Chains A and B, each alone.
Chain A
Amino acid sequence: MEEPLADQRPAGLRELARARPRLAVAVAAAAFALIAAPIPSLTWPATAVTLGVGTVVLFLVASGRPGRTVPGDVTGRRFLPWLVIAAAFALLELAALFTGSGPDFPTVSALLGPVFTDTGPRVVGYFCWLCTGYWLLKR
């Protein structure tokens, strides 16, 4: 049986080839963010944009793209700290939500939501959201 050929390119070129899809996604996300961010929140076009992105992600998941990285190992002890952090955050959010998310005990949504009514933060928000989506698809 033949051994697969090793990549003979210099390390710098190999790294560049690996970074190219990420760079392309970042450029596309930035362009999309610039177009979508001026659409005001609480309007149907803003909802349509997020629904459209969600539909594209569903299509990508169904078609198995992009290729996923090696899955993480399931080792309880190594995962436990993250579970504790997630549980602490969830408890805090739920407590704030069920006590009415007032000014004294706000949820993250109540704190950050008003920030995303301005175009500048919305550009950053869309960019981060799309890049995170790509990162998540690769997991």
Chain B
Amino acid sequence: MTGRAVTITVYVLILATVAALDLAARRGWLPILTFSGAVATVARFPLGRAALLLLWWWLGWHFLARSGPAPL
């Protein structure tokens, strides 16, 4: 397995963990916040909300305005 494949696997595992935790929270299997609840918790603080919105805007700009072709 190449380093690239390992890295992609780890990213996918993180994403799968997010989905699993959110499902567990929604079904009441784990006493934790849902993903939406966690975001709302951060957003209740003005600085947290500003950081979330800035991150959201940056993601849009980065991927939709600054994406180039893969290096050869």
Give A residues with C-beta under 8 Å from B: 36, 41-42, 46-47, 49-51, 53-54, 57, 61, 68-75, 77-82, 85, 88-89, 92, 96, 103-106, 108-109, 111-117, 122, 125-126, 129, 132-133, 136-137, 139
Q: Would you list the 7 A-B pairs with minimal beta carbon distance, nearest first? A: A104-B3, A72-B40, A72-B41, A71-B44, A114-B70, A82-B38, A46-B65
In the complex, what residues of B have CB within 8 A of residue A122's CB?
Answer: 64
Nearest to A58 among chain B residues (CB) is B53
In the complex, what residues of B have CB within 8 A of residue A49's CB?
Answer: 64-65
Q: What is the interface size of chain B, counting residues whose CB is below 8 A from a CB of the partner? A: 42
- Which one of B7, B57, B61 contacts A57 once the chains associate, using CB atoms below 8 Å? B57
Instruction: Report whether over half of chain A's contact residues are helix, strand or loop; otherwise say mixed.
Output: helix
In the complex, what residues of B have CB within 8 A of residue A79's CB?
Answer: 32-33, 38, 41
Contact B69 A136 (CB under 8 A): no
Chain B 31-44, CB-CB to A under 8 Å as 1, else 0, gives: 11101111111111
Contact A85 B56 (CB under 8 A): no
- Which one of A72, A106, A129 contacts B4 once the chains associate, using CB atoms below 8 Å? A106
Nearest to A114 among chain B residues (CB) is B70
In the complex, what residues of A have CB within 8 A of residue B52's CB?
Answer: 136, 139
- Which one of B32, B67, B68 contacts A78 once the chains associate, using CB atoms below 8 Å? B32
Nearest to B70 among chain A residues (CB) is A114
In the complex, what residues of A have CB within 8 A of residue B31's CB?
Answer: 77-78
Q: Is B63 an interface residue (CB 8 A)?
A: yes
Contact B4 A41 (CB under 8 A): no
**How many residue-residue contacts, CB under 8 A, span A and B?**
143
Contact A109 B37 (CB under 8 A): no
Contact A139 B64 (CB under 8 A): no
Q: How far is the CB of A43 from chain B (nearest CB, A)?
A: 8
In the complex, what residues of B have CB within 8 A of residue A139's CB?
Answer: 36, 39-40, 43, 49, 52
Q: How far is the CB of B22 from chain A (nearest CB, A)?
A: 9
Contact B63 A125 (CB under 8 A): yes
